[in-house]
Amino acid sequence: MAIYFGTDGIRGIANDFLDHDLAFKCGNALTTLKEKPTVVVCKDTRVSGDMILYSLDAGIMCGGGKVINCGILPTAGLAYITRLYGADFGVVISASHNPFEYNGIKVFSSRGVKLCDEAEEKLEELFEKTNLKKGMDIGTAAVYDDEAYAQYKEYLVSCCKHNLKGLKVVLDCARGAAYKVAPDVFRTLGCEVFCFNCDITSGTINDGCGSLYPEVLTEKVKECGADVGFAFDGDSDRVIACDEKGNLVDGDSLIYIFARHMRQQGRLGKDVVVGTQHTNMGIENALLRLGIKLLRADIGDKYVRELMDKEGCLLGGEQSGHIIIGDITTTGDGILSAIEACNATAASGKKLSELSDAVPYPQVNINVPVEDKQKVMSDNRLQKIVKKCREALRGNGRLLVRPSGTEPKVRITVECEDLCDAKKLAGEIADVVRSVSEGN
């Protein structure tokens, strides 16, 4: 079992769990996994990004690898550049949606997909086996930030298949990696762009903005009289949309919209899409009415990708806004998903509110901070209350309790046709989680 890697790479508070030594070890281990690899590296806008990036770079070069630094770039941009350059690995320095004091390391294969659990465990095993080259065998580094930015931007623009000239678009870039490229792309496409949270000088990535705070997006869409709005997270691998009426459109609803749009275009392949244990039952039922089956993967976009590969699916994603459009990308790309939403509206001649006609079940999500996730999850009191609440649903809803893969929290999700019932059951479970965590 992996010690450092969670559901989305290595994640922790910078200079605490994730320090320069761990970053060096990770970079150096890549040179044992493959002799003299070429590794493409980028970061988001966190203050700690340079420290971790240069430590990782040093580990790669000490082991004889070649580093290509791409500067600030969204995670999906790194995945694209890794494939474009024929690199052996891609590494993103980012903690995605987490607060600014966190940082992380995400490792991609040459295919532009996140390493599977087995590969991450193998990489971890090499952390203590330092590979130090001498003389002419020491590696080198090059800076390709301008080139990589231009190539990723060109790719995104090419994915727009319809005329968006004059479309009023609000973008909340979370003071993160999308701060420059997202506005640049939509302006190039002829849109009237209203940008918010694009100033990265404060370093307060994700703080009260972006996809975790969609109420900001709703307010700005109404204020600007926009046709559509999009809020990204810190590394722009997820997106939450807002229609022209100010209604939020989450990842589940976007998957429904994309599935219908892609099938109409003959791009869906099989009439199957991949979601997760969090995908709303209302969306699943709406897809079934279209003749499209939903498969559920474990939480985490890399598990969505793995199930897509296994089943030959071309669309998958998470409620949080990680969406993988398999015929044009390999990983979650918030900007690309925003473009695809605009493609769907333009192709149909309808507003986003008209396309988002699937009715989700009321869903309650509670994240409870805990000291010891495993202790809480294994406690008999929690098992009993979960069993009791599942029986109360009587098959007319879903309940999920799981430890977070990226934070010291237990996540509780309850959905059913009655919101009051969902709140009641979720609250009962949360109370038990708090009690167990506090030792009561």
Residue 202 annotated among the catalytic residues of the structure: no
- 424: CB partners within 8 A, 6+ apart: none
Query: DSSP class of residue 40?
Result: E
The count of other CB atoms within 10 Å of the CB of residue 354 is 12
Dig out the tokens for 379 from the structure: 């406690």
Compute CA distances 163 → 166, 199, 224, 242, 343, whole Å: 9, 29, 21, 20, 9
**Backbone torsions φ then ψ of 347, nearest 5 degrees:** -65, -35
User: Could you give the CA distance from residue 141 to residue 1 in angstroms, rounded to a whole number?
Assistant: 33
- 378 CB burial (10 A radius; 0-12, 13-18, 19+): exposed
User: Could you give the CA distance from residue 193 to residue 173 in angstroms, rounded to a whole number?
Assistant: 12
Terminal CA-CA length for the chain: 30
User: Could you give the CA distance from residue 399 to residue 425 in angstroms, rounded to a whole number?
Assistant: 9
Say if residues 38 and 88 touch (Cβ distance below 8 Å): yes
Q: Which of 55, 96, 211, 437 is catalytic?
A: 96
Query: DSSP class of residue 407?
Result: S
Say if residues 413 and 390 touch (Cβ distance below 8 Å): no
Which among 178, 264, 169, 274 is positioned nearest to 224, based on CA atoms? 169
**Backbone torsions φ then ψ of 173, nearest 5 degrees:** -95, 10
DSSP annotation string for 152-191: HHHHHHHT--S--TT-EEEEE-TTSTTTTHHHHHHHHTT-
Coil, strand or helix at 413: strand
- Catalytic residue positions, numbered: 96
